[in-house]
Amino acid sequence: MTLTLHGYWRSSAAYRVRLALALKGLHHDSVAHDLRIGAQRADDYRALQPQGLVPVLEGPDGPLIQSPAILEWLEERFPDPPLLPFDTAGRAVVRAMAALVACDIHPINNLRVLTMLRQDMGADEAAIRRWIGHWIAEGFAALEMLIVRHGRGFAYGDTPTLADCHILPQVYNAERFAVDLTPYPALVASAEKLRHAVPQAAPDRQADAG
Protein backbone atom coordinates (compact mmCIF):
# COMPACT_ATOMS: atom_id res chain seq x y z
CA MET A 1 0.00 0.00 0.00
CA THR A 2 1.38 3.39 -0.99
CA LEU A 3 0.65 6.43 1.15
CA THR A 4 1.61 9.91 -0.01
CA LEU A 5 1.48 12.88 2.34
CA HIS A 6 1.21 16.34 0.84
CA GLY A 7 2.41 18.91 3.35
CA TYR A 8 4.83 21.63 4.32
CA TRP A 9 7.57 21.14 6.87
CA ARG A 10 6.31 23.82 9.27
CA SER A 11 2.63 22.96 8.98
CA SER A 12 1.44 21.79 12.38
CA ALA A 13 -1.50 20.00 10.76
CA ALA A 14 0.87 18.01 8.53
CA TYR A 15 3.09 17.39 11.59
CA ARG A 16 0.10 15.74 13.32
CA VAL A 17 -0.25 13.27 10.47
CA ARG A 18 3.50 12.56 10.32
CA LEU A 19 3.43 11.75 14.04
CA ALA A 20 0.56 9.30 13.64
CA LEU A 21 2.20 7.65 10.61
CA ALA A 22 5.46 7.28 12.55
CA LEU A 23 3.75 5.90 15.64
CA LYS A 24 1.98 3.30 13.51
CA GLY A 25 5.16 2.43 11.64
CA LEU A 26 3.70 3.36 8.28
CA HIS A 27 6.01 4.32 5.44
CA HIS A 28 4.87 7.21 3.29
CA ASP A 29 6.12 9.30 0.41
CA SER A 30 6.17 13.07 0.84
CA VAL A 31 5.25 15.89 -1.51
CA ALA A 32 6.08 19.41 -0.31
CA HIS A 33 4.04 22.51 -1.07
CA ASP A 34 5.72 25.77 -0.02
CA LEU A 35 3.06 27.79 1.78
CA ARG A 36 5.27 30.89 1.69
CA ILE A 37 4.80 31.20 -2.06
CA GLY A 38 1.22 29.95 -2.19
CA ALA A 39 2.03 26.62 -3.83
CA GLN A 40 -0.96 25.07 -2.09
CA ARG A 41 -3.28 27.25 -4.17
CA ALA A 42 -2.19 25.75 -7.50
CA ASP A 43 -5.01 24.28 -9.57
CA ASP A 44 -3.58 20.75 -9.57
CA TYR A 45 -3.34 20.77 -5.80
CA ARG A 46 -6.85 22.19 -5.39
CA ALA A 47 -8.06 19.20 -7.38
CA LEU A 48 -6.96 17.18 -4.34
CA GLN A 49 -7.86 19.71 -1.64
CA PRO A 50 -10.47 22.26 -2.74
CA GLN A 51 -9.59 24.60 0.16
CA GLY A 52 -5.96 24.77 -0.90
CA LEU A 53 -4.71 23.68 2.52
CA VAL A 54 -2.26 21.07 3.74
CA PRO A 55 -2.18 18.22 4.50
CA VAL A 56 -3.62 15.72 2.06
CA LEU A 57 -3.01 12.00 2.47
CA GLU A 58 -3.35 9.99 -0.72
CA GLY A 59 -3.93 6.28 -0.31
CA PRO A 60 -6.19 3.41 -1.30
CA ASP A 61 -9.32 5.42 -0.48
CA GLY A 62 -8.29 8.42 -2.55
CA PRO A 63 -7.20 11.85 -1.29
CA LEU A 64 -8.10 12.49 2.34
CA ILE A 65 -8.22 16.04 3.71
CA GLN A 66 -8.37 17.71 7.14
CA SER A 67 -5.88 16.30 9.64
CA PRO A 68 -8.43 15.18 12.30
CA ALA A 69 -10.28 13.15 9.66
CA ILE A 70 -7.00 11.74 8.34
CA LEU A 71 -5.97 10.70 11.85
CA GLU A 72 -9.29 8.97 12.43
CA TRP A 73 -8.92 7.17 9.08
CA LEU A 74 -5.45 5.98 10.06
CA GLU A 75 -6.79 4.74 13.39
CA GLU A 76 -9.59 2.79 11.70
CA ARG A 77 -7.51 1.44 8.83
CA PHE A 78 -4.38 0.65 10.89
CA PRO A 79 -5.61 0.05 14.45
CA ASP A 80 -2.32 -1.32 15.82
CA PRO A 81 -0.86 0.33 17.78
CA PRO A 82 -4.01 2.15 18.89
CA LEU A 83 -3.98 5.93 19.26
CA LEU A 84 -7.34 5.99 21.03
CA PRO A 85 -8.17 4.37 24.39
CA PHE A 86 -10.34 1.28 24.39
CA ASP A 87 -13.05 2.70 26.65
CA THR A 88 -15.65 5.17 25.40
CA ALA A 89 -15.01 7.71 28.16
CA GLY A 90 -11.28 7.73 27.43
CA ARG A 91 -11.86 8.11 23.71
CA ALA A 92 -14.10 11.10 24.38
CA VAL A 93 -11.43 12.75 26.56
CA VAL A 94 -8.70 12.20 23.97
CA ARG A 95 -10.89 13.57 21.18
CA ALA A 96 -11.73 16.60 23.33
CA MET A 97 -8.03 17.28 23.94
CA ALA A 98 -7.35 17.00 20.22
CA ALA A 99 -10.28 19.30 19.40
CA LEU A 100 -9.05 21.87 21.87
CA VAL A 101 -6.00 22.26 19.64
CA ALA A 102 -7.59 21.63 16.25
CA CYS A 103 -10.69 23.76 16.82
CA ASP A 104 -9.77 26.40 19.40
CA ILE A 105 -6.03 27.17 19.14
CA HIS A 106 -4.70 26.32 15.71
CA PRO A 107 -7.37 27.80 13.40
CA ILE A 108 -7.00 31.35 14.72
CA ASN A 109 -3.21 31.20 14.70
CA ASN A 110 -2.63 29.68 11.28
CA LEU A 111 -0.92 31.35 8.34
CA ARG A 112 -4.12 32.61 6.68
CA VAL A 113 -5.26 34.40 9.82
CA LEU A 114 -1.83 35.86 10.62
CA THR A 115 -1.47 37.10 7.03
CA MET A 116 -4.83 38.88 7.25
CA LEU A 117 -3.90 40.41 10.60
CA ARG A 118 -0.69 41.76 9.08
CA GLN A 119 -1.91 42.85 5.66
CA ASP A 120 -5.52 43.89 6.25
CA MET A 121 -5.57 44.83 9.93
CA GLY A 122 -2.15 46.50 10.11
CA ALA A 123 -0.88 44.40 13.00
CA ASP A 124 2.85 44.62 13.62
CA GLU A 125 4.96 41.69 14.75
CA ALA A 126 4.62 42.57 18.42
CA ALA A 127 0.83 42.49 18.09
CA ILE A 128 1.01 39.20 16.16
CA ARG A 129 3.04 37.62 18.96
CA ARG A 130 0.57 38.87 21.59
CA TRP A 131 -2.29 37.40 19.56
CA ILE A 132 -0.58 34.03 19.19
CA GLY A 133 0.51 33.94 22.82
CA HIS A 134 -2.96 34.78 24.11
CA TRP A 135 -4.76 31.96 22.31
CA ILE A 136 -2.06 29.39 22.99
CA ALA A 137 -2.06 30.30 26.69
CA GLU A 138 -5.84 29.96 26.94
CA GLY A 139 -5.81 26.53 25.33
CA PHE A 140 -2.71 25.25 27.07
CA ALA A 141 -4.06 26.22 30.50
CA ALA A 142 -7.06 23.96 29.91
CA LEU A 143 -4.93 21.19 28.44
CA GLU A 144 -2.56 21.30 31.41
CA MET A 145 -5.47 20.61 33.75
CA LEU A 146 -6.65 17.71 31.60
CA ILE A 147 -3.18 16.20 31.32
CA VAL A 148 -2.64 16.42 35.08
CA ARG A 149 -5.97 14.66 35.52
CA HIS A 150 -5.61 11.97 32.85
CA GLY A 151 -1.96 11.70 31.85
CA ARG A 152 0.61 9.18 33.00
CA GLY A 153 3.58 10.26 30.93
CA PHE A 154 1.64 11.12 27.80
CA ALA A 155 -1.34 13.47 27.51
CA TYR A 156 -3.73 10.62 28.29
CA GLY A 157 -2.44 7.51 29.98
CA ASP A 158 0.98 5.99 29.44
CA THR A 159 0.95 5.56 25.65
CA PRO A 160 0.66 8.14 22.84
CA THR A 161 -2.80 9.05 21.57
CA LEU A 162 -4.32 11.35 19.00
CA ALA A 163 -4.21 14.05 21.68
CA ASP A 164 -0.41 13.91 21.73
CA CYS A 165 -0.34 14.09 17.92
CA HIS A 166 -2.14 17.43 18.19
CA ILE A 167 -0.34 18.83 21.22
CA LEU A 168 3.30 18.39 20.16
CA PRO A 169 2.91 20.39 16.90
CA GLN A 170 1.20 23.15 18.88
CA VAL A 171 4.12 23.18 21.32
CA TYR A 172 6.43 23.48 18.33
CA ASN A 173 4.46 26.53 17.19
CA ALA A 174 4.58 28.02 20.68
CA GLU A 175 8.36 27.61 20.74
CA ARG A 176 8.67 29.30 17.35
CA PHE A 177 6.91 32.38 18.68
CA ALA A 178 8.66 32.36 22.07
CA VAL A 179 5.49 31.69 24.09
CA ASP A 180 6.28 31.13 27.77
CA LEU A 181 5.63 27.44 28.44
CA THR A 182 6.70 27.34 32.09
CA PRO A 183 3.07 27.35 33.36
CA TYR A 184 2.44 24.02 31.59
CA PRO A 185 4.98 21.48 32.92
CA ALA A 186 2.82 18.38 32.42
CA LEU A 187 1.94 19.41 28.86
CA VAL A 188 5.57 20.15 27.96
CA ALA A 189 6.78 16.89 29.50
CA SER A 190 4.27 14.83 27.52
CA ALA A 191 5.17 16.67 24.31
CA GLU A 192 8.88 16.09 24.88
CA LYS A 193 8.28 12.39 25.45
CA LEU A 194 6.57 12.09 22.07
CA ARG A 195 9.20 14.27 20.38
CA HIS A 196 11.93 11.89 21.52
CA ALA A 197 9.87 8.80 20.63
CA VAL A 198 9.46 9.70 16.93
CA PRO A 199 12.16 12.26 16.03
CA GLN A 200 11.80 11.47 12.32
CA ALA A 201 8.48 13.35 12.26
CA ALA A 202 10.00 16.64 13.43
CA PRO A 203 9.72 19.63 11.10
CA ASP A 204 13.48 20.16 10.84
CA ARG A 205 13.92 16.55 9.70
CA GLN A 206 11.78 17.03 6.60
CA ALA A 207 13.33 17.27 3.14
CA ASP A 208 11.85 20.72 2.46
CA ALA A 209 12.94 22.24 5.78
CA GLY A 210 14.72 25.54 5.50
The pLDDT tens digits for 25-71 are 999 999 999 999 999 999 999 999 999 999 999 999 999 999 999 99
Q: How confident is the model at residue 1 (pLDDT cuts 50, 70, 90)?
A: confident
Calpha distance 38→181 (Å, rounded):
31
- Burial class for 69, CB neighbours closer than 10 Å (0-12, 13-18, 19+): exposed
* Same domain for 146 and 181: yes
Quick check: pTM over 0.85? yes
Q: Is residue 60 part of a domain?
A: yes
- Coil vs helix vs strand at 57: strand
User: What pLDDT band is residue 210 in, cutting at 50, 70 and 90?
Assistant: confident
What is the average pLDDT score of the chain? 97
Residues 137-179 have pLDDT tens digits of: 999 999 999 999 999 999 999 999 999 999 999 999 999 999 9
Please count the structural domains in the chain. 2
193 shares a domain with 172: yes
The answer for residues whose C-beta is within 8 angstroms of residue 59's C-beta and 6 or more apart is 1, 2, 3, 4
Q: How far apart are CA 71 and CA 78, in angstroms?
A: 10
Residues 71 and 152 reside in one and the same domain = no
Asked if residue 110 and residue 178 are part of one domain, the reply reads yes
Answer whether residue 192 shows pLDDT above 80.
yes
Q: Would you call the peptide bond into 55 cis, given omega within 30 degrees of 0 as the criterion? A: yes
72-123 per-position pLDDT tens digit: 999 999 999 999 999 999 999 999 999 999 999 999 998 889 999 999 999 9
CATH number at residue 14: 3.40.30.10
